[in-house]
Amino acid sequence: MRTLALVSSLLVCGACTKDPEGPSLEIGTGDQEFEPLNDGDDAVVIQGPQGGFHLLGSLRATGIEPGDTANVFDENNPTMHFTVREDGERVDASNAFIQGLDEAGRGLYEVVGRFVFLDIQADEELVGSVITLTVELTDINGVALSAEVELNAVASPFNE
């Protein structure tokens, strides 16, 4: 009977993780620190110095293998991808990227200020529209997460 109790305890603990609620992914923005985004928030369309346009995408995750931020070639680094849609049509020109996530404390890992390139010629093409920003993350262990938010596209005051 003691052996059965021990085996049952090991099976239950085998399902335990650092995060009892399981993996999670939150989408955000920010250039220096993570700023969460909620439906209805503004997405700032930024004109870069070479004339193209982008948004700043950030993410915060728990329950994943974060990889190594110091080594972009580390095989344990997660794959991530931001996409932007307007009326269901993709308007981004971004590709998936592989990199480690920074530790942010309490089991949180982040990527902050990633450029999400847009396939537009002028900010007026999106400004005033509702866009959907999506992020997908897959870690080395096959944990696949996604998050999305509907945002109001606004022009950066610094755009020409």
Domain CATH code at residue 125: 2.60.40.2550
Q: Is residue 61 part of a domain?
A: yes
Percent of the chain with pLDDT over 70: 88
Which pTM value belongs to this model?
A: 0.86
Q: Would residue 49 count as lying in a domain?
A: yes
Residue 114 lies in a domain: yes
Strand partners, 84: 133
* Domains of the chain: total: 1
For residues 72 and 99, the answer to whether their CB atoms sit within 8 Å is: yes
User: Domain residues for 96?
Assistant: 21-155
In a domain, 8, yes or no: no
Each residue of 95-104: pLDDT tens digit?
A: 999 999 999 9
14 within a domain of the structure (yes/no): no
